[in-house]
Structure 1
């Protein structure tokens, strides 16, 4: 694990003394309750400002709820008519999430790629994540 941390260069003034990296097919849920009936209101909603961390379950709806799309349509109609409503359709099943978020892939074949139609663009095999902005900015300004 120490070698992996050295590669990631986590020696930063804002990084803590303890750094935990999830397994390739795992993520650290923030669910701190044992009974779903006692889950906080924000747990069933897309509410990034109240949740103590990233919640990939927000991207999903409850697969067991056959009426979930009808509920979404009804909530959107209420909003359109000026009523206040809460989109509380997020399941509380962390096992629905497959994979992890923000983890460096173990296989280079799973790394992100940068595709361009500019023939004169030349990149190294490996691009630092911090260099992507300047590459994209240069790419866009050269086309104008």
Structure 2
């Protein structure tokens, strides 16, 4: 369900099948645990909404001289340790890390001017949002309702690293939803996949480079607080506590779970 919502957005002609299948699984789980007199919570982290505008923060930082690149075999890799600033993207949120504190304000000002950016948080803002922990970026960026952030840092697709065209979550400096896609323009893509799998079975080294570098293929994302309450994440319990149909903040969830377990 999560993947198809990112592929297709809120297209219920496509995702209704996924919704019904998952609903049936959740029903089985809830009925099973209720038969054991168990208190049940259903909780989701986020609601996915439609997007149509990818934002390449690392490309913007690179053009301003903040990103360091090293080249291997003619392909480019982001050198985070040598970069003065770089972004780690995750859907509609990005953490920007700055080597020098003096650059935080300048980088924040640069990013504020980017079309599709809704919020740029740093300094005291991070405390206000309860995210000022050790691993938080020096700057946290939030997209607007139509936008999301890629990890892309290259300016020429011919120099994109080999992992850009593969499912390789540990090498990419940020989440890449395009990993769920194959190139819709390539009519022979499935034949190529089969061919690569046969080579692998025969013992040949094979690169599964079948992922397109086209962020516009993504139609759904999440991370920001949505415009419509209907798209909010949910917290549902079969145990009566607190007010019904109320809006809660993320930092209340921990206490609600403790109350659910102990009281």
Normalised by the length of structure 1, the TM-score is 0.70
CA apart distance, 1:67: 0.6
1:86 and 2:191 correspond = no
- Structure 2: 5+ residue stretches without partners: 1-118
Cα pair distance change 1:11/1:102, threshold 3 Å:
closer
Q: Which has the higher strand share?
A: 2
CA apart distance, 1:92: 0.7
Measure the CA separation in 1 of the matches of 2:228 and 2:152. 30
Cα pair distance change 1:123/1:113, threshold 3 Å:
farther
Cα pair distance change 1:38/1:13, threshold 3 Å:
same
The answer as to whether partners of 1:45 and 1:89 remain within 8 angstroms in 2 is yes
CA apart distance, 1:122: 4.3
Measure the CA separation in 2 of the matches of 1:74 and 1:123. 57
Report the secondary structure of 1:47's partner residue. coil
The answer as to whether partners of 1:25 and 1:98 remain within 8 angstroms in 2 is no
> For residue 142 of structure 1, what is the aligned residue in structure 2?
none
CA apart distance, 1:123: 6.7
> For residue 89 of structure 2, what is the aligned residue in structure 1?
none
> For residue 97 of structure 1, what is the aligned residue in structure 2?
218
The answer as to whether partners of 1:75 and 1:87 remain within 8 angstroms in 2 is yes
1:27 and 2:148 correspond = yes
CA apart distance, 1:47: 0.8
CA apart distance, 1:126: 4.8
CA apart distance, 1:111: 2.2
Cα pair distance change 1:69/1:18, threshold 3 Å:
same
CA apart distance, 1:93: 0.9
RMSD of Structure 2 on Structure 1 (CA): 3.3
The answer as to whether partners of 1:25 and 1:99 remain within 8 angstroms in 2 is no
> For residue 162 of structure 2, what is the aligned residue in structure 1?
41
Measure the CA separation in 1 of the matches of 2:232 and 2:204. 44
> For residue 9 of structure 1, what is the aligned residue in structure 2?
129
> For residue 106 of structure 1, what is the aligned residue in structure 2?
227
> For residue 180 of structure 2, what is the aligned residue in structure 1?
59
Moved more, 68-77 or 95-104: 95-104
Report the secondary structure of 1:27's partner residue. strand
The answer as to whether partners of 1:57 and 1:92 remain within 8 angstroms in 2 is yes
